């Protein structure tokens, strides 16, 4: 069946898990948190073994069936965590997922997550998941929905704010849920039980000297290579984990690749991607500097960094990230920076 994020949360709090779940969408934070909630619930229910399958170019889909057949001597239940970034398993992958769902192994849950989704992604493999499990399409929030989302997230973290303050924050983050979540987490440490107004939020933001992933991608997309690389250095020095950071960079690269492929339909593509008008010029600058092939090369570099960070490739992942960020900011110099 197909369901919503709120309905998924209710399901996770009651009873056993279904044999398969698909959580799919370009809203990285919502997908990540929903998947994390499912992993936590699975562990509570005794799914103590977990196989992580990252679907990259050349992925062997026999590994899915193998994971379903193999159970550890030390665990009675298993979670198969299959990460399909593009949301497109291809013919072989679609067949492998459908076959898995036709006869799901006992005491095994299959979780599939994607970071890209549209109606065009749906196919027979999605229907096979729906027949035995749960499909959760995660659509980007509409502009008018963002204040309610921010208000609810603030309340869940014990932060009280005026309506005007919530609207102000919604305008500031311009649809970027990861940025909003980061600000709210910071406010939860500073609020001290007080109801925050616009002035309090403005003061908090003014005092925030941290570098984060959102400022990083904005600087890179905006062509400010020096600032972007300075942010990378700051994040590394602060001990930030590279893989979550890379997830947001990858999200923005996919947006740029899709926008670049839109051609004369760019205006419609901006609406599809839910990019706010105030941010369009930022992306237009990048699109003018780099063509679709450039963004595809950047995506390939991001895949390389991911492999290195996960111990599946040689090299310095942070150094390769610096090359990627410089290539995003300066497409004309990309040939000297990335393969």
User: Domain limits of the chain?
Assistant: 5-137, 143-206, 213-337
The CATH homologous superfamily for domain 5-137 is P-loop containing nucleotide triphosphate hydrolases (3.40.50.300)
pLDDT at 73: 60
Whole-number pLDDT of residue 278: 67
pLDDT at residue 241 in the model: 86
What backbone phi and psi angles, to 5 degrees, belong to 36?
-65, -40
Q: CATH code for 143-206?
A: 1.10.8.60
**pLDDT at residue 209, as a whole number:** 41
Q: What is the pLDDT of residue 210?
A: 46
Q: Rounded to an integer, what is the distance from CA 212 to the centroid of its chain?
A: 15
> What is the residue-wise DSSP string for 235-273?
HHHTT--HHHHHHHHHHHHHHHHHHHHTGGGHHHHHHHT
The set of residues, in sequence order, having a beta carbon less than 8 Å from that of 211 and lying 6+ positions away, is: 230, 231, 234, 235, 238
Mean pLDDT, contiguous 10-residue spans, the chain (339 residues) = 87 89 89 92 91 87 89 76 89 94 92 86 91 92 89 93 91 80 86 86 63 81 91 86 88 92 87 77 91 92 92 92 94 80
Q: What is the pTM of this model?
A: 0.65
CATH code for the part of the protein at 213-337: 1.20.272.10
The pair phi, psi for residue 61, each rounded to 5°, is -70, -10
Determine the pLDDT at residue 57: 80
Mapping DSSP to helix (H, G, I), strand (E, B) and coil, where does residue 114 land?
A: strand
CA dist., res. 137 & res. 1, Å (int): 11
Whether the CA torsion 165, 167, 169, 172 is positive or negative: it is negative
């Amino acid at each position: 069946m197909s369901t919503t994020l709120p309905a998924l949360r209710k399901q996770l709090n009651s009873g056993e898990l279904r044999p398969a779940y698909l959580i799919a969408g370009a809203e990285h934070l919502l997908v990540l948190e929903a998947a994390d909630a499912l992993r936590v619930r699975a562990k509570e229910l005794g799914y103590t073994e977990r196989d992580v399958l990252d679907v990259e170019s050349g992925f062997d889909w026999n590994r899915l069936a193998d994971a379903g057949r193999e159970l550890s001597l030390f665990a009675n239940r298993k979670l198969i965590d299959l990460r399909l970034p593009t949301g497109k398993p291809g013919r072989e992958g679609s067949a492998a997922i459908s076959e898995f769902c036709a006869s799901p192994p006992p005491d095994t849950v299959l979780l599939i997550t994607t970071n890209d989704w549209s109606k065009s992604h749906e196919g027979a493999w999605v229907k096979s998941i729906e027949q035995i499990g749960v499909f959760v399409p995660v659509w980007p929030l509409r502009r008018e929905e963002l204040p309610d989302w921010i208000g609810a997230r603030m309340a869940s973290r014990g932060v009280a704010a005026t309506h005007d303050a919530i609207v102000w924050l919604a305008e500031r983050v311009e649809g970027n849920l990861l940025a909003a979540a980061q600000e709210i987490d910071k406010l939860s440490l500073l609020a001290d039980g007080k109801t925050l107004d616009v002035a309090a939020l403005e003061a908090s933001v003014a005092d925030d000297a941290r570098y984060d992933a959102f400022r990083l991608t904005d600087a890179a997309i905006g062509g400010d290579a020096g600032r972007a690389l300075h942010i990378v250095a700051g994040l590394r020095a602060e001990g930030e984990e590279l893989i979550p950071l890379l997830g947001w960079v990858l999200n923005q690269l996919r947006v740029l690749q899709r926008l670049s492929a839109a051609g004369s339909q760019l205006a419609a593509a901006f609406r599809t991607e839910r990019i706010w008008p105030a941010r369009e010029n930022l992306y237009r600058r990048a699109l003018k500097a780099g063509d679709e092939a450039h963004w595809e090369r950047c995506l390939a570099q991001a895949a390389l960094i991911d492999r290195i960070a996960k111990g599946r490739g040689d090299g310095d992942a942070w150094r390769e990230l610096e090359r990627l960020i410089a290539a995003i900011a300066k497409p004309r110099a990309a040939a000297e920076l990335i393969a």
